[in-house]
């Protein structure tokens, strides 16, 4: 599959709910964290493949505001993996020309992880081959509430006029400000839910639900989903052309 062209359009922004790590591991008699470890390896492959296929923005749902409810050992294991990923992949992401940004509320994350996140954002700020948006402690409702709170504060302080606030103005208060909405949202592992992922931004996205658990989701699967996307007729509420 070629990078974006008129006859073979590739979705510019692909967002992925990387689900099924736990089940992948459990089915193999392994601890859940083994599935997350394999999941990190898939992140590496899919970031590379997406860039090569011409995707300009890839958003990955790594940890939700609800994931804190998991057993403490699993949460601690995930934090260890994030820390390792941020340390180990940094040079590779710079080399690949990826610009990394994080969405979600970082304040509940361990301080050293927050530092690594800022460092990676700074180091990759000038890159433009692909933007990798990592949702870490992200929840769509949480994002909307934080935006509403900031809007209320700005209105009270006289910085904005509520009467003139429109959809574009509202979107500028979201974590994703400045990023186009996802064209395609993929969820792995055969579950048909969106789980609080980008509720505002995905209002007109196409959705693809694939049966593979995330550790089994390869670049070939991604390519297949992108080909199927190409056949869809996106109307954004209008009529067919």
Is 173 or 217 the residue whose CB approaches ligand FPP more closely? 217
Using CB atoms within 10 Å of the CB of residue 11, give its burial: 0 to 12 exposed, 13 to 18 middle, 19+ buried. buried
Question: Cβ-closest residue to ligand FPP?
Answer: 22
Q: Whole-number minimum distance, CB 15 to ligand FPP, in Å?
A: 13
CB 160, min distance to ligand FPP, A: 34
Of 18 and 151, nearer to ligand FPP (C-beta) is 18
Torsion, Cα of 17, 23, 24, 30 (10° steps): 140
Q: In what order do the strands lie in the sheet with 184-187?
A: 98-103, 130-138, 57-64, 13-17, 184-187, 206-209
Catalytic residue (choose from 21, 45, 67, 175): 67
> Catalytic annotation on 127?
no
Binding site for ligand FPP (CB under 6 A): 18-23, 36, 39-40, 43, 60, 62, 67, 81-82, 85, 134, 189, 214
Are 5 and 16 in contact by the 8 Å Cβ rule? The answer is: no
Q: How far is the CB of 147 from ligand FPP (least distance, A)?
A: 23
187: which strand partners?
A: 17, 209
Closest to ligand FPP by CB, 71 vs 237, is 71
Output 18 or 147, the one with its CB closest to ligand FPP: 18
Burial bucket for residue 110 (CB in 10 Å: 0-12, 13-18, 19+): middle
Query: Smallest gap, in angstroms, from Cβ of residue 93 to ligand FPP?
Result: 11
Pick the closer one to ligand FPP by CB: 47 or 184. 47
67 noted as active-site residue = yes
| DSSP letters spanning 173-202 | TSTTTTSPPPSEEEE-TT----TTSSTTTT
Q: Which of 6, 8, 19, 112 is catalytic?
A: 19
Least gap, CB of 54 to ligand FPP (angstroms): 21
CA atoms within 13 A on the CB side of 177: 11
Instruction: Say how many C-beta atoms besides its own lie within 10 A of residue 186's C-beta.
Output: 24
Q: Which residues are catalytic?
A: 19, 67
């Amino acid at each position: 599959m070629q990078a974006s062209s008129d006859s073979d359009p590739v979705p510019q922004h692909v967002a992925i709910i990387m689900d099924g790590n736990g089940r992948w591991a459990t089915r193999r008699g392994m601890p859940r964290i083994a599935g997350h470890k394999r999941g990190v390896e898939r992140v590496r492959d899919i970031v590379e493949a997406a860039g090569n296929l011409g995707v300009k923005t890839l958003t990955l749902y790594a940890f939700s505001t609800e994931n804190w409810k998991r057993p403490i050992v699993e949460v601690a294991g995930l934090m260890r993996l994030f820390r390792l990923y941020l340390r180990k992949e940094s040079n590779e992401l710079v080399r690949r020309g990826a610009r990394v940004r994080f969405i979600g509320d970082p304040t509940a994350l361990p301080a050293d992880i927050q530092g690594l996140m800022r460092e990676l954002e700074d180091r990759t700020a000038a890159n433009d081959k692909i933007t990798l948006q990592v949702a870490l402690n992200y929840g769509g409702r949480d994002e909307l509430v934080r935006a509403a709170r900031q809007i209320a504060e700005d209105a009270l302080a006289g910085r904005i006029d509520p009467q003139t606030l429109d959809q574009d103005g509202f979107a500028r208060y979201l974590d994703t400000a400045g990023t186009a909405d996802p064209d395609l949202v993929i969820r792995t592992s055969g579950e048909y839910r969106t789980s609080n992922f980008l509720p505002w931004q995905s209002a007109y996205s196409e959705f693809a639900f694939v049966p593979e658990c995330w550790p089994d989701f390869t670049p070939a699967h991604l390519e297949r989903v992108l080909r199927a996307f190409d056949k869809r007729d996106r109307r954004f509420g209008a009529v067919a052309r």
